[in-house]
Amino acid sequence: MPVLFRYQSSLMSLFFHRTRLKSRYILSIFVGLSLGFILSLACLPLMSVCDNSLSFFSDPLSSSINLQLLNETFSFRDPFRILSRQARSVVDVTLVDYGSKDYEPRIHPAPSQQADSNNQSSSTSTQAANAPKVTRPRYIADELGIREKVLVAVLTEANHLNTFAFFLNQTLQNYVNRLLFFINEDTENFPRSMEVIVIHDKKAYLKPFYVLKYLAEKMIKLYDWFVLMPDNTYVRGFKLNEFLNHISISQDLYMGQSFDDVHAVYCYFGSAIILSGTVLRKILDEIDWCTNNAYSQDVTDNIGRCILKAAKIPCMNTASNYKFNAYVNYRFEFDTDIERLSKKEEFNQTLTVHPISDLETMLKLQQYFHQVEIDEMTRSIAKYEETIENLSCYAPEGCGNIPWPVGIPPPFKPSSRFDVLRWDYFNETHIYLKTDIDVIDLMKPDDYEDIHEVIEHAVEQFQKKYGVHLKFKKLLNGYRQFDPTRGTHYIIDLILSDANNIEYIKRAELMRPLGLVEIVPMPFVTESTKIFLILPIYSDEQSAAIRFLQHANRTLFDKETHTQFELLLTHIVTSKQDPWQIQKWFTNIRLEVESIRRSRSQLTITYHTILVPSSATTSTHSTHILDYFETKLREDSLVFITNAYVDIESDFLNRCRLNVIQNVQVFYPIAFYQYHPRIIAQTYRLIENSTIELHKFHGWFNSYAYDHVGLYISDYSKLKSLLPSNIFLSSTNLYDLFVQYTDLHMLRAPDQALRVRYHPIKCDSIKQSNKLELNRCLIQKEKGLASRSQLAMIIIDNEQTKKPATKHTKK
């Protein structure tokens, strides 16, 4: 025990000794840390305020950060600290809680620019004045580099332009963006719809290099893919477009069918070659080497050697997991081989067939592959319909509650009675109640073809279900509704008869869905175009012309300047008159114009007199007017012809400027014609010279009148050059001539800013030989008096006033 005790006491003394040493050591460390922390706190403000150099970054790796901290004021609020890919340390990145404040991004100048900011502050205004202006392109597609999908270049011959080349043009133009045909000699005997390029070089083996150079220099910025092929190759346009839509344009691609062997590096030219724009750009850099080393007469060999040198890639037939299938058989006979080949899926998926020796085989292949594509679409639609029906069980409505037909949007649900879609009732020849005005109307050719196609399809479906012995006998009832959200809906009742002449009534419900909606490209138009407003004034319309000027002064003249608008007051006379009489006739109108010019000094108004033959009808006077102003105005002048009874609102002229397109479109607005004021006054209070109210009891949109037309003088001159020698402008309505002899669009639409005051319509001057014009005039005279309900009320009132008079007479 004593030994043990002594041992313990020695351990205790050693423990206390070590404890004292440790305490001193810890105390010294604590004091050192405290002094260092206090000194650092004391020095930080001095460094941030007095010393902004911070030269403690001496490591070469952090030199860029050192430079940035030397030239910038450090801020923890800056979320974009480092904008370049340089070495950086922890202090360069700042974490910002974007959820606690609004995020406001800012662009910071580069370090080299900010280093000289103090020196440049004095010359900021000078630099701003001398800075170059950035010119942006008109279309955003040019700025973003958006290109078309595919261009097809066909190597052909001049004697094939009307045969093989024309067939390719007709079958591919709806599926590719552009088709170019390259030939060796000049010719003018080819269809107008084809783009033909002549290569003036007798060396045939250099022809593909001219084609590649032309595409690389002229077309490379416009298209993503380029297809090269001969004219004796059949190409499935729909399949080619579908194939290219699944391939990425971010890769170098030299695609086709390998020549002779699957291990060959050249693509066979006969089965077509697909090149990406990046490969074509590389070919342009090596085009001289390619032409100098083209020692073969084989196009496949020359193109393949050139691409292998320029792009360093061999031929491939697979990209993005899609395979390029081509069928090459020099002994191919459609009638003998198609039955065997149709059973092979590889042939049904092929893109090209080569070679084709005659056009008849081309047409047969076109028909066969169209049927293959229809069958594929039918199977795909059936598969999608089944999938939709299965997924409908997970919808809130439950299983089976999906609109018919499957995959078509549900019917439009009107929010009020004014939005209810119209149903048109029809038989085999007429349509009833097509508009609010017409009771019955003979079917137009388009309607006739549409309805009878629906009837034939319905009969075909009934025969598949009940047997071919059922024959169509008669259409009992037919209903048609156009739904802008889904398509045209038909309900038809058919009378069918069997071999024993027993009749059956069957109802069919059909839907013609809307197809692919496309945007029709139109030329660029602007509202700054100058417009010449031609106002024909007859001898008995002087007061109407003065009223037109007064109304136009309130609504029109203050919005137009002399650079954008000019009014041409045109006096129409049918017999020669003395100049003094003409000037005297304009006296009252001149006084009104002068009073307007006191406040509208910028207004330009001119006076004209036109002699029109007395035999000419009013509806054909516009041709005489245009003949006169064709010599007075430039060909690119926009004119609008109207009548003296019209009230034009301020926004109509801009609409006319936008709707009339030179060499493309002529504008025939449908004006709102006022009913007889006395009939309107029976139910509504009218104020003299007040604005015509747009109401069904005040007037109607007269679609039978062609008095208002906007067009360019050049389009009228073109029409005159296209007319046959036996057609005279003075004998036919201008609208009918445009429709019959030109390909210009006729824009015909109601316009509420064009309102015509009531005036008597005279049909006596129209010759009986022009039955169309006579019918139009008689319809206007009949419908322009008042609405049917207003006329009925007048008849009822007259009958009631006659009855008391009759009773009084009997007494």
Which overall architecture, per CATH, does domain 142-323 show?
Alpha-Beta Complex (3.90)
Distance CA(141)–CA(790), nearest Å, equals 56
Domain segments of the chain as ranges: 142-323, 423-513, 531-665+705-758
Decide if 423-513 and 531-665+705-758 have a common fold: no
Residue 639 has a pLDDT of 95
Q: How far is CA 54 from the centre of its chain?
A: 61
User: Which of 769, 642, 654 lies closest to 709 in space, CA to CA?
Assistant: 642
What confidence score (pLDDT) does residue 239 get? 93
Q: Locate 468 and state its tokens.
A: 């071919």
CATH class label, 531-665+705-758: alpha beta
Cβ neighbours of 394 (radius 10 Å): 8
pLDDT at 471: 92
Stretch (H or E) spanning 741: helix 734-741
Q: Of the CATH numbers 3.30.70.1070, 3.10.450.10, 3.40.50.40, 3.40.50.10880, which one belongs to the domain with range 423-513?
A: 3.10.450.10
Q: What is the pTM of this model?
A: 0.58
Average pLDDT, the chain: 81
CB 216 within 8 A of CB 282: no
Is 573 exposed, middle or buried, given 0-12, 13-18 or 19+ CB atoms closer than 10 A? middle
User: What's the rounded Cα separation, in Å, for the pair 327 and 343?
Assistant: 14
CA angle (562, 567, 568) in 5-degree steps: 130
The pLDDT value given to residue 733: 84
Task: Read off φ and ψ for residue 726, nearest 5 degrees.
Answer: -90, 5
SS3 95: coil
Instruction: Report, as ranges of residue numbers, the positions in the chain whose pLDDT lies below 70.
Output: 1-31, 33, 36-37, 39-134, 259-263, 577-580, 582, 615-620, 730, 765-769, 803-811
